[in-house]
A and B are shown apart, each in its own frame.
Chain A
Amino acid sequence: MFDFQIVTTWFDNLLRQTLGLGDFWSILIECVMVGLIILTIYALIAMFMIFFERKVCAWFQCRLGPMRVGPWGVFQVLADVLKMLIKEIFGVDRSDKFLYALAPCLTIVASVGTFSFLPWNKGAQVLDFNVGVFMITAISSIGVLGVILSGWGSNNKYSVVSAMRGAVQMISYEMSLGLCMVIAVVLCGTMQLSGIVEAQTGPWKWLIIQGHIPAIVAFCIFLIAGNAEANRGPFDLAEAESELTAGYHTEYSGMGFGYFYLAEYLNLVVISGLAAAIFLGGWAPLNIGVDGFDAVMNYIPGFVWFIGKTLAVIWVLMWVRWTFPRLRIDHILILEWKYLMPLTLITLVVMTACVSLGLTF
Protein backbone atom coordinates (compact mmCIF):
# COMPACT_ATOMS: atom_id res chain seq x y z
CA MET A 1 0.00 0.00 0.00
CA PHE A 2 1.45 3.35 -1.03
CA ASP A 3 1.86 5.56 2.05
CA PHE A 4 1.79 9.28 1.31
CA GLN A 5 3.66 9.93 4.53
CA ILE A 6 6.88 9.13 2.64
CA VAL A 7 6.44 12.32 0.65
CA THR A 8 5.59 14.52 3.61
CA THR A 9 8.43 13.14 5.72
CA TRP A 10 10.84 13.68 2.82
CA PHE A 11 9.72 17.28 2.45
CA ASP A 12 9.96 17.86 6.20
CA ASN A 13 13.49 16.42 6.27
CA LEU A 14 14.43 18.53 3.24
CA LEU A 15 13.44 21.70 5.09
CA ARG A 16 14.80 20.78 8.49
CA GLN A 17 18.02 18.93 7.70
CA THR A 18 19.11 19.74 4.16
CA LEU A 19 18.22 23.42 4.42
CA GLY A 20 18.76 23.59 8.19
CA LEU A 21 15.68 25.65 8.96
CA GLY A 22 14.30 25.84 12.49
CA ASP A 23 10.92 24.68 13.72
CA PHE A 24 9.21 28.00 13.11
CA TRP A 25 10.21 28.48 9.49
CA SER A 26 9.78 24.87 8.42
CA ILE A 27 6.29 24.69 9.95
CA LEU A 28 5.40 28.04 8.38
CA ILE A 29 6.60 26.94 4.93
CA GLU A 30 4.78 23.61 5.27
CA CYS A 31 1.55 25.34 6.31
CA VAL A 32 1.72 27.74 3.36
CA MET A 33 2.48 24.87 0.96
CA VAL A 34 -0.40 22.76 2.26
CA GLY A 35 -2.76 25.74 2.08
CA LEU A 36 -1.77 26.46 -1.53
CA ILE A 37 -2.14 22.83 -2.54
CA ILE A 38 -5.57 22.54 -0.89
CA LEU A 39 -6.86 25.73 -2.54
CA THR A 40 -5.51 24.67 -5.95
CA ILE A 41 -7.13 21.24 -5.71
CA TYR A 42 -10.33 22.93 -4.50
CA ALA A 43 -10.47 25.20 -7.55
CA LEU A 44 -9.54 22.43 -10.00
CA ILE A 45 -12.14 20.06 -8.57
CA ALA A 46 -14.76 22.82 -8.81
CA MET A 47 -13.98 23.22 -12.52
CA PHE A 48 -14.09 19.49 -13.05
CA MET A 49 -17.41 19.25 -11.19
CA ILE A 50 -19.06 21.92 -13.33
CA PHE A 51 -18.12 19.99 -16.47
CA PHE A 52 -19.12 16.66 -14.94
CA GLU A 53 -22.50 18.01 -13.86
CA ARG A 54 -23.22 19.36 -17.33
CA LYS A 55 -22.32 16.11 -19.02
CA VAL A 56 -24.17 13.86 -16.55
CA CYS A 57 -27.21 16.12 -16.73
CA ALA A 58 -27.08 15.94 -20.51
CA TRP A 59 -26.83 12.14 -20.53
CA PHE A 60 -29.78 11.78 -18.20
CA GLN A 61 -31.80 14.02 -20.49
CA CYS A 62 -30.66 12.14 -23.61
CA ARG A 63 -28.70 15.02 -25.09
CA LEU A 64 -24.99 15.69 -25.68
CA GLY A 65 -24.21 18.63 -23.40
CA PRO A 66 -21.47 21.14 -24.31
CA MET A 67 -19.75 19.89 -27.51
CA ARG A 68 -18.43 22.90 -29.41
CA VAL A 69 -15.54 24.27 -27.32
CA GLY A 70 -12.70 21.75 -27.58
CA PRO A 71 -13.11 17.97 -27.88
CA TRP A 72 -16.40 16.98 -26.13
CA GLY A 73 -16.56 20.57 -24.94
CA VAL A 74 -13.87 20.22 -22.29
CA PHE A 75 -12.85 23.87 -22.62
CA GLN A 76 -16.39 25.07 -22.01
CA VAL A 77 -15.57 25.26 -18.30
CA LEU A 78 -12.67 27.64 -18.91
CA ALA A 79 -15.03 29.96 -20.75
CA ASP A 80 -17.50 29.71 -17.84
CA VAL A 81 -14.81 30.53 -15.30
CA LEU A 82 -13.63 33.47 -17.37
CA LYS A 83 -17.19 34.76 -17.59
CA MET A 84 -17.61 34.44 -13.84
CA LEU A 85 -14.34 36.27 -13.15
CA ILE A 86 -14.93 39.27 -15.41
CA LYS A 87 -18.60 39.87 -14.56
CA GLU A 88 -19.33 43.28 -13.15
CA ILE A 89 -19.72 43.30 -9.37
CA PHE A 90 -22.30 45.77 -8.13
CA GLY A 91 -23.60 46.43 -4.66
CA VAL A 92 -27.21 46.58 -3.58
CA ASP A 93 -28.72 49.94 -2.71
CA ARG A 94 -28.87 50.66 1.04
CA SER A 95 -27.73 47.20 2.03
CA ASP A 96 -25.18 46.45 4.74
CA LYS A 97 -22.09 46.27 2.51
CA PHE A 98 -19.92 44.64 5.18
CA LEU A 99 -22.31 41.75 5.82
CA TYR A 100 -23.01 41.50 2.08
CA ALA A 101 -19.31 40.95 1.42
CA LEU A 102 -18.77 38.71 4.44
CA ALA A 103 -21.47 36.14 3.65
CA PRO A 104 -19.82 34.39 0.65
CA CYS A 105 -16.55 34.26 2.59
CA LEU A 106 -18.21 32.42 5.51
CA THR A 107 -19.76 29.95 3.05
CA ILE A 108 -16.43 29.28 1.38
CA VAL A 109 -14.66 28.96 4.77
CA ALA A 110 -17.09 26.26 5.84
CA SER A 111 -16.64 24.50 2.52
CA VAL A 112 -12.82 24.61 2.45
CA GLY A 113 -12.72 23.69 6.15
CA THR A 114 -14.68 20.49 5.67
CA PHE A 115 -12.85 19.79 2.39
CA SER A 116 -9.53 19.69 4.29
CA PHE A 117 -10.73 16.72 6.32
CA LEU A 118 -11.03 14.35 3.34
CA PRO A 119 -8.65 11.38 3.59
CA TRP A 120 -7.16 11.16 0.09
CA ASN A 121 -4.69 8.41 0.73
CA LYS A 122 -2.95 6.67 3.59
CA GLY A 123 -1.13 9.52 5.34
CA ALA A 124 -2.51 12.17 2.97
CA GLN A 125 -5.00 14.24 4.88
CA VAL A 126 -4.62 17.81 5.98
CA LEU A 127 -6.69 17.94 9.16
CA ASP A 128 -6.92 14.84 11.32
CA PHE A 129 -8.12 15.60 14.85
CA ASN A 130 -9.02 12.98 17.40
CA VAL A 131 -12.51 14.53 17.39
CA GLY A 132 -12.51 14.62 13.56
CA VAL A 133 -16.13 13.72 12.83
CA PHE A 134 -17.47 16.14 15.43
CA MET A 135 -15.17 18.84 14.07
CA ILE A 136 -16.54 18.32 10.54
CA THR A 137 -20.11 18.91 11.70
CA ALA A 138 -18.94 21.95 13.68
CA ILE A 139 -17.22 23.56 10.70
CA SER A 140 -20.00 22.72 8.28
CA SER A 141 -22.45 24.58 10.53
CA ILE A 142 -20.61 27.83 9.73
CA GLY A 143 -22.21 27.53 6.29
CA VAL A 144 -25.63 28.28 7.82
CA LEU A 145 -24.30 31.66 8.97
CA GLY A 146 -23.21 32.44 5.42
CA VAL A 147 -26.71 31.64 4.16
CA ILE A 148 -28.46 33.88 6.72
CA LEU A 149 -26.01 36.77 6.29
CA SER A 150 -26.25 36.67 2.51
CA GLY A 151 -30.02 36.86 2.75
CA TRP A 152 -29.90 39.74 5.19
CA GLY A 153 -27.07 41.62 3.51
CA SER A 154 -28.92 41.65 0.19
CA ASN A 155 -31.59 44.07 1.51
CA ASN A 156 -34.24 42.12 -0.36
CA LYS A 157 -37.24 40.56 1.32
CA TYR A 158 -37.27 37.54 -0.97
CA SER A 159 -33.65 36.89 -0.07
CA VAL A 160 -34.38 37.07 3.67
CA VAL A 161 -37.28 34.65 3.37
CA SER A 162 -35.16 32.36 1.24
CA ALA A 163 -32.29 32.57 3.72
CA MET A 164 -34.64 31.49 6.50
CA ARG A 165 -35.75 28.58 4.33
CA GLY A 166 -32.19 27.62 3.53
CA ALA A 167 -31.10 27.89 7.15
CA VAL A 168 -33.97 25.82 8.54
CA GLN A 169 -33.32 23.17 5.89
CA MET A 170 -29.60 22.98 6.63
CA ILE A 171 -30.05 22.95 10.41
CA SER A 172 -32.66 20.19 10.17
CA TYR A 173 -30.64 17.91 7.95
CA GLU A 174 -27.47 18.46 9.95
CA MET A 175 -29.21 16.40 12.63
CA SER A 176 -29.52 13.26 10.50
CA LEU A 177 -26.09 13.81 9.01
CA GLY A 178 -24.46 14.00 12.44
CA LEU A 179 -26.38 10.98 13.73
CA CYS A 180 -25.30 8.91 10.70
CA MET A 181 -21.69 9.76 11.50
CA VAL A 182 -22.34 8.73 15.12
CA ILE A 183 -23.55 5.36 13.81
CA ALA A 184 -20.22 4.93 12.01
CA VAL A 185 -18.37 6.03 15.16
CA VAL A 186 -20.22 3.39 17.21
CA LEU A 187 -19.01 0.74 14.79
CA CYS A 188 -15.40 1.95 14.52
CA GLY A 189 -14.87 3.09 18.09
CA THR A 190 -13.05 6.25 17.02
CA MET A 191 -13.97 9.72 15.83
CA GLN A 192 -10.66 10.24 14.06
CA LEU A 193 -11.22 10.05 10.31
CA SER A 194 -7.93 8.24 9.65
CA GLY A 195 -8.89 5.75 12.38
CA ILE A 196 -12.29 5.19 10.77
CA VAL A 197 -10.68 4.41 7.41
CA GLU A 198 -8.01 2.29 9.09
CA ALA A 199 -10.76 0.18 10.70
CA GLN A 200 -12.04 -0.65 7.20
CA THR A 201 -8.88 -2.15 5.74
CA GLY A 202 -8.80 -5.89 5.32
CA PRO A 203 -11.10 -8.43 3.70
CA TRP A 204 -14.81 -7.53 3.81
CA LYS A 205 -14.19 -4.73 6.26
CA TRP A 206 -15.87 -1.76 4.59
CA LEU A 207 -18.37 -0.37 7.07
CA ILE A 208 -21.29 -0.97 4.75
CA ILE A 209 -20.44 -4.69 4.80
CA GLN A 210 -19.13 -4.80 8.37
CA GLY A 211 -22.29 -3.21 9.76
CA HIS A 212 -24.67 -4.88 7.23
CA ILE A 213 -28.32 -3.72 7.50
CA PRO A 214 -28.06 -0.74 9.89
CA ALA A 215 -24.94 0.52 8.06
CA ILE A 216 -26.67 0.33 4.68
CA VAL A 217 -29.68 2.23 6.06
CA ALA A 218 -27.34 4.81 7.60
CA PHE A 219 -25.50 5.16 4.27
CA CYS A 220 -28.76 5.87 2.43
CA ILE A 221 -29.87 8.40 5.07
CA PHE A 222 -26.42 10.01 4.91
CA LEU A 223 -26.75 10.47 1.15
CA ILE A 224 -30.26 11.97 1.42
CA ALA A 225 -29.34 14.28 4.29
CA GLY A 226 -26.07 15.21 2.60
CA ASN A 227 -27.91 16.07 -0.58
CA ALA A 228 -30.19 18.39 1.39
CA GLU A 229 -27.29 19.83 3.38
CA ALA A 230 -25.44 20.71 0.18
CA ASN A 231 -28.61 22.38 -1.19
CA ARG A 232 -28.72 20.00 -4.13
CA GLY A 233 -31.79 18.83 -5.96
CA PRO A 234 -34.43 17.65 -5.13
CA PHE A 235 -33.84 19.98 -2.18
CA ASP A 236 -32.44 22.89 -4.22
CA LEU A 237 -34.96 25.55 -3.27
CA ALA A 238 -32.25 28.20 -3.63
CA GLU A 239 -32.25 27.47 -7.36
CA ALA A 240 -36.00 27.70 -7.89
CA GLU A 241 -35.98 30.93 -9.90
CA SER A 242 -39.46 30.89 -11.34
CA GLU A 243 -41.36 29.82 -8.23
CA LEU A 244 -39.49 31.51 -5.40
CA THR A 245 -37.57 34.44 -6.97
CA ALA A 246 -34.42 32.34 -6.66
CA GLY A 247 -32.64 32.08 -3.34
CA TYR A 248 -30.52 33.89 -0.80
CA HIS A 249 -27.85 34.57 -3.43
CA THR A 250 -30.13 36.37 -5.88
CA GLU A 251 -28.46 39.73 -5.38
CA TYR A 252 -24.91 38.48 -5.87
CA SER A 253 -23.03 38.73 -9.15
CA GLY A 254 -19.55 37.89 -10.33
CA MET A 255 -17.36 36.08 -7.83
CA GLY A 256 -19.80 36.75 -4.96
CA PHE A 257 -22.17 34.36 -6.67
CA GLY A 258 -19.16 32.37 -7.81
CA TYR A 259 -18.30 31.60 -4.19
CA PHE A 260 -21.76 30.20 -3.50
CA TYR A 261 -21.55 28.24 -6.73
CA LEU A 262 -18.12 26.84 -5.84
CA ALA A 263 -19.24 26.01 -2.31
CA GLU A 264 -22.30 24.16 -3.61
CA TYR A 265 -20.24 21.92 -5.88
CA LEU A 266 -17.51 21.37 -3.33
CA ASN A 267 -20.05 20.56 -0.62
CA LEU A 268 -21.28 17.85 -2.97
CA VAL A 269 -17.70 16.56 -3.26
CA VAL A 270 -17.23 16.77 0.53
CA ILE A 271 -20.47 14.90 1.24
CA SER A 272 -19.64 12.21 -1.32
CA GLY A 273 -16.06 12.01 -0.07
CA LEU A 274 -17.23 11.61 3.50
CA ALA A 275 -19.77 8.98 2.48
CA ALA A 276 -17.00 7.15 0.61
CA ALA A 277 -14.56 7.52 3.51
CA ILE A 278 -16.96 6.61 6.30
CA PHE A 279 -19.10 3.89 4.73
CA LEU A 280 -17.24 2.66 1.63
CA GLY A 281 -13.78 2.37 3.11
CA GLY A 282 -12.10 5.56 1.83
CA TRP A 283 -8.71 4.65 0.42
CA ALA A 284 -9.04 1.03 1.61
CA PRO A 285 -8.86 -1.30 -1.41
CA LEU A 286 -11.43 -4.00 -2.13
CA ASN A 287 -10.20 -7.13 -0.36
CA ILE A 288 -12.11 -10.40 -0.44
CA GLY A 289 -9.79 -12.67 1.53
CA VAL A 290 -8.22 -14.39 -1.52
CA ASP A 291 -4.48 -13.64 -1.37
CA GLY A 292 -3.78 -13.21 -5.10
CA PHE A 293 -6.78 -10.95 -5.70
CA ASP A 294 -6.04 -8.86 -2.59
CA ALA A 295 -2.40 -8.41 -3.61
CA VAL A 296 -3.44 -7.09 -7.03
CA MET A 297 -5.98 -4.75 -5.45
CA ASN A 298 -3.43 -3.49 -2.93
CA TYR A 299 -1.15 -2.45 -5.82
CA ILE A 300 -3.70 0.16 -6.87
CA PRO A 301 -2.78 3.27 -4.85
CA GLY A 302 -5.20 4.56 -2.21
CA PHE A 303 -6.07 7.86 -3.84
CA VAL A 304 -7.32 6.05 -6.93
CA TRP A 305 -9.68 4.03 -4.74
CA PHE A 306 -10.80 7.13 -2.86
CA ILE A 307 -11.39 9.24 -5.97
CA GLY A 308 -13.13 6.34 -7.70
CA LYS A 309 -15.52 5.75 -4.80
CA THR A 310 -16.17 9.48 -4.43
CA LEU A 311 -16.95 9.84 -8.14
CA ALA A 312 -19.32 6.88 -7.94
CA VAL A 313 -21.21 8.49 -5.05
CA ILE A 314 -21.26 11.87 -6.84
CA TRP A 315 -22.70 10.16 -9.89
CA VAL A 316 -25.47 8.62 -7.79
CA LEU A 317 -26.28 12.00 -6.26
CA MET A 318 -26.42 13.63 -9.71
CA TRP A 319 -28.64 10.85 -10.93
CA VAL A 320 -30.99 11.67 -8.03
CA ARG A 321 -30.80 15.39 -8.77
CA TRP A 322 -31.76 15.08 -12.42
CA THR A 323 -34.46 12.48 -11.81
CA PHE A 324 -36.62 13.65 -8.91
CA PRO A 325 -38.86 16.73 -8.95
CA ARG A 326 -38.18 19.49 -6.44
CA LEU A 327 -39.79 19.31 -3.00
CA ARG A 328 -41.69 22.10 -1.28
CA ILE A 329 -40.18 23.46 1.95
CA ASP A 330 -42.81 21.96 4.28
CA HIS A 331 -42.39 18.58 2.59
CA ILE A 332 -38.64 18.88 3.06
CA LEU A 333 -39.06 19.54 6.78
CA ILE A 334 -41.67 16.80 7.22
CA LEU A 335 -39.36 14.34 5.45
CA GLU A 336 -36.58 15.18 7.89
CA TRP A 337 -38.36 15.52 11.21
CA LYS A 338 -41.09 12.90 10.82
CA TYR A 339 -39.30 10.21 8.79
CA LEU A 340 -35.53 10.53 8.48
CA MET A 341 -34.64 11.55 12.02
CA PRO A 342 -36.71 8.87 13.80
CA LEU A 343 -35.36 6.33 11.32
CA THR A 344 -31.80 7.46 12.06
CA LEU A 345 -32.39 7.19 15.81
CA ILE A 346 -33.80 3.66 15.41
CA THR A 347 -30.83 2.74 13.21
CA LEU A 348 -28.50 4.09 15.88
CA VAL A 349 -30.15 1.91 18.52
CA VAL A 350 -30.04 -1.15 16.22
CA MET A 351 -26.39 -0.51 15.41
CA THR A 352 -25.48 -0.09 19.08
CA ALA A 353 -27.27 -3.35 19.87
CA CYS A 354 -25.49 -5.12 16.99
CA VAL A 355 -22.09 -3.87 18.13
CA SER A 356 -22.63 -4.74 21.78
CA LEU A 357 -23.97 -8.21 20.93
CA GLY A 358 -21.12 -8.79 18.47
CA LEU A 359 -23.41 -9.15 15.47
CA THR A 360 -21.07 -7.36 13.05
CA PHE A 361 -18.71 -8.93 10.55
Chain B
Amino acid sequence: MASLAHIIIFTILAVVILGSAILSVMSKSIMRSVTFLLFVLFAIAGIYFMLGYTYLGAAQISVYAGGITVLYVFAIQLVSKRSLQGLTERIKLSRVLQGALLSLAGLVTVGVVLLKNQFIVKAVAGSIEEYDMSQVAQAIVGSDKYQYVLPFEFISVFLLACIIGGVLIARKEDKK
Protein backbone atom coordinates (compact mmCIF):
# COMPACT_ATOMS: atom_id res chain seq x y z
CA MET B 1 0.00 0.00 0.00
CA ALA B 2 2.89 2.32 0.68
CA SER B 3 3.91 1.84 -2.92
CA LEU B 4 0.48 3.14 -3.98
CA ALA B 5 1.18 6.36 -2.11
CA HIS B 6 4.56 6.50 -3.81
CA ILE B 7 3.00 6.08 -7.22
CA ILE B 8 0.44 8.81 -6.54
CA ILE B 9 3.06 11.27 -5.29
CA PHE B 10 5.37 10.42 -8.17
CA THR B 11 2.58 10.97 -10.69
CA ILE B 12 1.73 14.37 -9.19
CA LEU B 13 5.38 15.41 -9.21
CA ALA B 14 5.91 14.14 -12.74
CA VAL B 15 2.88 16.03 -14.03
CA VAL B 16 4.11 19.20 -12.30
CA ILE B 17 7.62 18.76 -13.70
CA LEU B 18 6.55 18.08 -17.29
CA GLY B 19 3.75 20.63 -17.34
CA SER B 20 5.87 23.41 -15.84
CA ALA B 21 8.78 22.54 -18.13
CA ILE B 22 6.57 22.86 -21.22
CA LEU B 23 4.97 26.06 -19.90
CA SER B 24 8.42 27.44 -19.10
CA VAL B 25 9.56 27.02 -22.71
CA MET B 26 6.30 28.09 -24.31
CA SER B 27 5.59 31.13 -22.14
CA LYS B 28 5.93 34.49 -23.85
CA SER B 29 6.86 36.47 -20.75
CA ILE B 30 10.36 35.84 -19.43
CA MET B 31 9.32 36.37 -15.80
CA ARG B 32 6.71 33.64 -16.14
CA SER B 33 9.23 31.31 -17.77
CA VAL B 34 11.57 31.76 -14.83
CA THR B 35 8.70 31.10 -12.39
CA PHE B 36 7.77 27.86 -14.14
CA LEU B 37 11.42 26.85 -14.12
CA LEU B 38 11.25 27.36 -10.34
CA PHE B 39 8.33 24.92 -10.15
CA VAL B 40 10.30 22.34 -12.19
CA LEU B 41 13.29 22.59 -9.86
CA PHE B 42 11.19 22.40 -6.69
CA ALA B 43 9.28 19.38 -7.97
CA ILE B 44 12.62 17.69 -8.65
CA ALA B 45 13.54 18.46 -5.04
CA GLY B 46 10.24 16.76 -4.14
CA ILE B 47 11.41 13.63 -5.97
CA TYR B 48 14.64 13.68 -3.95
CA PHE B 49 12.59 13.85 -0.73
CA MET B 50 10.45 10.96 -1.96
CA LEU B 51 13.61 8.91 -2.45
CA GLY B 52 14.79 9.85 1.04
CA TYR B 53 17.71 12.03 -0.10
CA THR B 54 16.85 14.88 2.23
CA TYR B 55 20.28 16.50 2.01
CA LEU B 56 20.16 16.63 -1.78
CA GLY B 57 16.59 17.93 -1.66
CA ALA B 58 17.49 20.69 0.79
CA ALA B 59 20.50 21.63 -1.33
CA GLN B 60 18.32 21.71 -4.44
CA ILE B 61 15.80 24.05 -2.80
CA SER B 62 18.35 26.41 -1.28
CA VAL B 63 20.59 26.56 -4.38
CA TYR B 64 17.78 27.06 -6.86
CA ALA B 65 15.73 29.45 -4.75
CA GLY B 66 18.82 31.67 -4.78
CA GLY B 67 19.54 30.91 -8.43
CA ILE B 68 16.02 31.80 -9.54
CA THR B 69 16.22 35.05 -7.56
CA VAL B 70 19.35 35.92 -9.52
CA LEU B 71 17.57 35.00 -12.78
CA TYR B 72 14.72 37.38 -11.88
CA VAL B 73 17.17 40.18 -11.26
CA PHE B 74 18.98 39.42 -14.53
CA ALA B 75 15.66 39.39 -16.39
CA ILE B 76 14.61 42.72 -14.91
CA GLN B 77 17.96 44.39 -15.53
CA LEU B 78 19.16 42.92 -18.81
CA VAL B 79 16.06 42.22 -20.90
CA SER B 80 14.58 45.11 -22.89
CA LYS B 81 11.38 46.68 -21.65
CA ARG B 82 9.30 45.61 -24.63
CA SER B 83 10.17 41.93 -24.31
CA LEU B 84 9.71 42.08 -20.52
CA GLN B 85 6.12 43.10 -21.17
CA GLY B 86 5.73 40.26 -23.66
CA LEU B 87 5.18 42.57 -26.62
CA THR B 88 7.90 41.33 -28.99
CA GLU B 89 8.17 37.64 -28.18
CA ARG B 90 6.32 35.33 -30.56
CA ILE B 91 6.16 31.57 -30.66
CA LYS B 92 7.41 30.41 -34.06
CA LEU B 93 6.61 26.93 -35.33
CA SER B 94 10.18 26.37 -36.55
CA ARG B 95 11.53 27.18 -33.07
CA VAL B 96 9.07 24.74 -31.49
CA LEU B 97 10.14 22.03 -33.95
CA GLN B 98 13.82 22.68 -33.24
CA GLY B 99 13.17 22.44 -29.51
CA ALA B 100 11.21 19.22 -29.93
CA LEU B 101 14.02 17.69 -32.01
CA LEU B 102 16.64 18.69 -29.42
CA SER B 103 14.64 17.26 -26.54
CA LEU B 104 14.11 14.06 -28.54
CA ALA B 105 17.88 13.80 -29.00
CA GLY B 106 18.31 14.29 -25.24
CA LEU B 107 15.71 11.62 -24.50
CA VAL B 108 17.46 9.14 -26.85
CA THR B 109 20.83 9.85 -25.20
CA VAL B 110 19.48 9.29 -21.69
CA GLY B 111 17.63 6.18 -22.84
CA VAL B 112 20.73 4.68 -24.45
CA VAL B 113 22.80 5.39 -21.34
CA LEU B 114 20.17 3.80 -19.09
CA LEU B 115 19.94 0.69 -21.28
CA LYS B 116 23.70 0.46 -21.65
CA ASN B 117 24.57 0.53 -17.94
CA GLN B 118 21.77 -1.92 -17.10
CA PHE B 119 20.44 0.40 -14.37
CA ILE B 120 16.80 -0.58 -14.80
CA VAL B 121 17.58 -4.31 -14.75
CA LYS B 122 19.63 -3.90 -11.62
CA ALA B 123 17.01 -1.71 -9.95
CA VAL B 124 14.30 -4.29 -10.62
CA ALA B 125 16.54 -7.07 -9.32
CA GLY B 126 17.27 -4.90 -6.26
CA SER B 127 21.03 -5.32 -6.53
CA ILE B 128 21.94 -1.64 -6.33
CA GLU B 129 23.83 -0.89 -3.13
CA GLU B 130 22.85 2.27 -1.32
CA TYR B 131 25.57 4.31 0.31
CA ASP B 132 25.22 5.58 3.82
CA MET B 133 25.11 9.38 4.11
CA SER B 134 28.08 9.50 6.49
CA GLN B 135 30.10 7.34 4.07
CA VAL B 136 29.42 9.83 1.26
CA ALA B 137 30.32 12.79 3.48
CA GLN B 138 33.57 11.11 4.58
CA ALA B 139 34.46 10.35 0.98
CA ILE B 140 34.04 14.02 0.07
CA VAL B 141 36.40 15.34 2.76
CA GLY B 142 38.73 12.34 3.06
CA SER B 143 42.26 12.34 1.62
CA ASP B 144 42.69 8.60 1.03
CA LYS B 145 42.48 6.78 -2.27
CA TYR B 146 39.09 7.30 -3.99
CA GLN B 147 38.33 10.24 -1.70
CA TYR B 148 37.75 13.73 -2.91
CA VAL B 149 39.30 16.39 -0.69
CA LEU B 150 41.51 17.76 -3.49
CA PRO B 151 38.70 18.47 -6.00
CA PHE B 152 36.59 19.76 -3.09
CA GLU B 153 39.28 22.26 -2.10
CA PHE B 154 39.95 23.09 -5.75
CA ILE B 155 36.29 23.98 -6.26
CA SER B 156 36.39 26.24 -3.19
CA VAL B 157 39.45 28.08 -4.54
CA PHE B 158 37.76 28.33 -7.93
CA LEU B 159 34.60 29.80 -6.37
CA LEU B 160 36.69 32.25 -4.38
CA ALA B 161 38.36 33.37 -7.61
CA CYS B 162 34.90 33.82 -9.17
CA ILE B 163 33.74 35.95 -6.22
CA ILE B 164 36.83 38.15 -6.39
CA GLY B 165 36.37 38.53 -10.15
CA GLY B 166 32.72 39.46 -9.64
CA VAL B 167 33.62 42.06 -7.01
CA LEU B 168 36.29 43.52 -9.31
CA ILE B 169 33.84 43.85 -12.20
CA ALA B 170 31.07 45.31 -10.03
CA ARG B 171 33.35 47.75 -8.20
CA LYS B 172 33.09 51.38 -9.16
CA GLU B 173 36.41 52.95 -10.16
CA ASP B 174 37.78 55.24 -7.47
CA LYS B 175 37.61 58.89 -8.37
CA LYS B 176 41.15 60.17 -8.71
Contact = CB atoms under 8 A, between A and B. Distances in A.
Given A130-B133, A138-B59, A138-B62, A148 B69 contact: yes
Interface stretch (B28-36, B120-128, B144-152, B155-163): B28-36
A131 B2 contact: no
A134 interface: yes
Contacts of B61: 135, 138-139, 141-142
A99 B34 CA distance: 11
A23 B2 contact: yes
B119 interface: no
A23 B76 CA distance: 48
A171 B66 contact: yes
Interface in B53-86: 54-55, 58-59, 61-62, 65-66, 68-69, 72-73, 76
A145 interface: yes
A242 to B, nearest CB: 26
A361 interface: no
Contact of B62 (A28, A96, A98, A134): A134
B19 to A, nearest CB: 14
Give the most central of A142, A167, A171: most B CB within 10 Å: A142
A71 interface: no
Contact of B73 (A102, A130, A139, A164): A164
Contacts of B29: 96
Contacts of A325: none
A22 interface: yes
Interface string A119-158: 0000000000111001101110110110011001000000
A142 B54 CA distance: 17
B5 interface: yes
B58 A135 contact: yes
Interface in B1-58: 1-2, 4-5, 29, 31-32, 35, 38, 54-55, 58
B31 A145 contact: no
A27 interface: yes
B76 A160 contact: yes
Nearest to A139: B61
Interface string B109-133: 0000000000000000000000001
A130 B69 contact: no
Contacts of B2: 23-24, 27
A167 B69 contact: yes
A141 B76 contact: no
Interface of A: 22-24, 27-28, 96, 98-99, 102, 129-131, 134-135, 137-139, 141-142, 144-145, 148-149, 152, 160, 164, 167, 171
27 contacts: A24-B2, A24-B4, A27-B2, A28-B5, A96-B31, A98-B32, A99-B31, A99-B35, A129-B54, A130-B55, A134-B62, A135-B61, A137-B62, A138-B59, A138-B61, A138-B65, A141-B61, A141-B62, A141-B66, A142-B65, A144-B65, A148-B72, A148-B73, A149-B72, A152-B31, A152-B76, A164-B73
